[in-house]
Amino acid sequence: MTSHPTPPPAAIHAVSAGARPRGSVAALPSVTRTQRFIVPAEPARVFPLLCPVREFDWIPTWHAEILHSVSGVAEEDCVFRTEAHDGAAMTWVVSRYEPPTRIEFTCFVPGHYVFRLKISLEPVAGGTQLTWTRHWLATAPADAAFSAATAVEDFDTKMAALEGLLVHYLRTGEMLRP
């Protein structure tokens, strides 16, 4: 029988299934924001544009580095990297891929937060209703990066801009340049 020394309590970080961590667990901040809008096209036409490669076609400020994709476009487990406004690296994983009704991303911003972006597409009269839900989870006490990422005014402004860019592209087939 092999004996394993027991680490001091401060060094224990992993928790076994069914066990509870010792001491208190810090509740770090989390924020959820949801926005809905309708675009003038059917889901099958809109869905492919929600891709780190195809966003180059309709978002003038889009910059992404594709790290993993078997098909060359969005798919489950596609991994890509972007940069936050403060220069922090953001690593994204397509965590759910159900064309043409749902795509979800999990994004990691080391030292600041993790967030999930869930986009659902529903056919409606006149086009597609898109529902964008972002859920940020701080991985450290709230800092300026977390506060900036979750600011409601900034979220609303970004979503209105995305809606305008997407609607323009769907109507004209061309990117709206600033």
CATH of the domain at 114: 3.30.530.20
Inside any domain, residue 10? no
In tens, the pLDDT along 47-58 reads 999 999 999 999
Inside any domain, residue 106? yes
Amino acid at 133: T
pLDDT score, position 173: 97
Is omega for the bond preceding 100 within 30 degrees of 0, making it cis?
A: yes
Tens of pLDDT, residue by residue, the chain (178 residues): 444 444 333 333 444 455 555 555 568 889 999 999 999 999 999 999 999 999 999 999 999 999 999 999 999 999 999 998 788 899 999 999 999 999 999 999 998 899 999 999 999 999 999 999 999 999 888 777 888 888 888 888 999 999 999 999 999 999 998 7
Inside any domain, residue 133? yes
Structural domains of the chain, count? 1
Inside any domain, residue 63? yes
- Domain holding 166, by residue range, is 28-172
Residue 111: how many other CB atoms lie within 10 Å: 10
In tens, the pLDDT along 152-168 reads 888 889 999 999 999 99
